[in-house]
């Protein structure tokens, strides 16, 4: 714990403030950059820069000719360092209650110029390692001239506070019946595929993200009835509320989540499967109301054989027999056949789930057979699985049929 000081003690919204060292370190370690604030001739200055934490010291990168580094010589420079990670935008029914989910750390103290060559070199190595574990061994270390041109500030972590906001909308009770959409839009910093410089022949290092197959990207898909957006932990609470009817879970592979926290664990497992390339998951959102109503996924993704399965689909019961399920499948089939170049799309369903079998057949898929004792049910029994598939040759006719069913005058599944 960092003992609160007059400069770090919260004066408002105190429940968002923390002085836990581990929480502060986690934010500092996740963030790549910070804002260094100081005064020059009585005027405020703010400098965006890179940082790295080593134990209880925050090292700040700079140039030997910059104002803060020059001012830090001798007794050091009084500074304030701020780091913020923005996790989501919160849309409320009222403008006053719009907010953001975030994690931020503020550090006060006196930063000193690092003059010991070993400490300086160690700090620079730590900064390089932060962008990729193992990178310092796979790149040329700085020369004596380069080290001389680089300045490093050391700021002891003593006056440190963490402030954060998580969760959903905090509307006034009087505003809950307003017809405006409210909810959370998750934000996250993600790295793209590594792009080699001209002339590079070395393979992409293991600590950098490889080029990710488009088959594994949960691209947002939009229709008139449903919007499919990448599944995120922030959807867990709404997913739980939409699928509390036990009938939704009767034929699914896992037990019904008992509460929102358990749903969070289910979503986390789906996301973990996505990171390993086993699944691509979307949340289903009603296009008319913006409400989260269910989820669906690609799985058994096989770009080499140009095949993919659609499943892990659950939809809140109020949205059964609406255009949402039909259009969600149309969007996924269009993604598979027209955008990814699939030649085959597969579905699996419990042999007891006749409603699901009829729905798959209405999509235009053909029943291929039964996989005996294929998967284990939530109650421990083994299920026989009915397998359906649609080929690229069958897709044009199926697409016409599905679009016809989605016309306003036509019945929908």
> 23-74 pLDDT, tens per residue?
899 999 999 999 999 988 888 989 999 999 999 999 998 776 666 666 667 7
Backbone φ and ψ for 226, nearest 5 degrees, come out as: -140, 150
CB-side neighbour CA atoms (13 Å) of 81: 31
Ramachandran angles phi, psi of 57, nearest 5°: -125, 135
Under CATH, what is the fold of the domain 14-165? Pnp Oxidase; Chain A (2.30.110)
- Asked whether residue 146 carries a pLDDT value surpassing 90, the answer given is no
Provide the mean pLDDT of the chain: 90
Closest CA to 350 of 381, 325, 323: 381
CA distances to 149, 183, 337, 390 from 99, rounded to whole Å, are 42, 10, 40, 45
Which ranges constitute the DSSP H helices of 247-372?
260-275, 323-334, 354-363
State how far the Cα of 324 lies from the Cα of 405, in Å rounded to an integer. Answer: 12
Architecture of domain 213-405 in this structure: 3-Layer(aba) Sandwich (3.40)
Other beta carbons within 10 Å of 282 = 27
Helix (H) or strand (E) holding 46: strand 43-54
Q: Is the predicted pLDDT of residue 413 greater than 70, yes or no? A: no
Return d(Cα 56, Cα 371) in angstroms, integer.
57
3-class DSSP state of 140? coil
Give the three-class secondary structure for 269: helix
Domains 14-165 and 213-405 share a fold: no
Give Cα separations from 25 to 162, 190, 366 (angstroms).
Answer: 10, 20, 55
Strands 344-350 and 221-222: unpaired
Q: How do the domains of the chain map onto residue ranges?
A: 14-165, 213-405
Residue 211 — very low, low, confident or very high, per pLDDT cuts 50/70/90?
A: low
**What's the Cα-to-Cα distance from 328 to each of 241, 255, 315, rounded to whole Å?**
20, 24, 11
Question: Is a pLDDT exceeding 60 seen at residue 373?
Answer: yes
DSSP 203: P
Contact (Cβ atoms closer than 8 angstroms) between residue 126 and residue 61? no
User: Is pTM, for the whole model, over 0.75?
Assistant: no
Helix boundaries (H) for 31-98: 67-71
Q: At what angle do helices 354-363 and 395-405 cross, to 10 degrees?
A: 110
Over residues 237-262, the pLDDT tens digits come to: 999 999 999 999 988 878 899 998 89
pLDDT (tens digit, 9 = 90+) per residue, 216-226?
A: 989 999 999 99
Neighbours of 195 (CB within 10 A): 9
Spell 15-26 as b/e; 16+ CB within 10 A means b.
eebbbeeeebbe
């Amino acid at each position: 714990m960092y003992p609160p000081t007059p400069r770090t003690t919260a004066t408002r919204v105190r429940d968002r403030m923390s002085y836990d060292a581990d929480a502060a370190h986690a934010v500092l370690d996740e963030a790549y950059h910070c804002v260094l604030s100081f005064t020059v001739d009585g005027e405020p200055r703010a400098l965006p820069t890179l940082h790295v934490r080593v134990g209880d010291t925050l090292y700040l990168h700079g140039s030997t000719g910059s104002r803060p580094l020059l001012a830090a010589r001798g007794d050091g420079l009084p500074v304030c360092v701020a780091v913020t990670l923005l996790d989501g935008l919160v849309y409320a029914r009222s403008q006053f209650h719009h907010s953001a989910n975030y994690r931020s750390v503020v550090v006060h103290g006196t930063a000193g110029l690092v003059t010991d060559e070993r400490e300086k070199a160690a700090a620079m190595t730590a900064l390089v390692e932060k962008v990729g574990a193992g990178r310092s061994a796979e790149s040329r270390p700085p020369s004596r001239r380069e080290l001389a041109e680089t300045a490093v500030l050391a700021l002891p972590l003593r006056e440190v506070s963490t402030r954060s906001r998580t969760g959903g909308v905090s509307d006034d009770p009087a505003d809950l019946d307003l017809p405006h959409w409210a909810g959370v839009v998750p934000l996250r910093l993600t790295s793209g595929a590594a792009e080699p410089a001209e002339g590079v022949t070395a393979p992409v290092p293991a600590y950098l993200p490889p080029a990710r197959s488009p088959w594994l990207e949960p691209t947002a898909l939009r229709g008139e009835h449903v919007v499919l957006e990448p599944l995120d932990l922030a959807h867990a609470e709404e997913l739980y509320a939409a699928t509390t009817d036990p009938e939704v879970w009767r034929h699914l592979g896992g037990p019904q989540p008992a509460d929102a926290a358990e749903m969070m664990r289910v979503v986390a497992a789906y996301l973990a499967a996505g990171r390993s390339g086993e699944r691509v998951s979307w949340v289903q959102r009603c296009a008319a109301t913006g409400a989260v109503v269910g989820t669906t996924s690609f799985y058994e993704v096989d770009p080499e054989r140009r095949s993919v399965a659609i499943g892990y689909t659950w939809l809140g019961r109020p949205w059964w027999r609406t255009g949402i399920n039909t259009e969600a499948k149309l969007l996924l089939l269009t993604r598979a056949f027209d955008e990814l170049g699939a030649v085959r799309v597969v579905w699996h369903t419990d042999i007891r789930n006749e409603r699901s079998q009829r729905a798959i057949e209405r999509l235009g898929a053909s029943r291929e057979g039964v996989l005996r004792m294929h998967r284990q049910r939530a109650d421990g029994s083994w299920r026989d699985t009915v397998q359906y598939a649609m080929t690229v040759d069958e897709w044009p006719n199926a697409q016409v049929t599905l679009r016809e069913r989605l016309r306003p005058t036509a019945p929908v599944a």
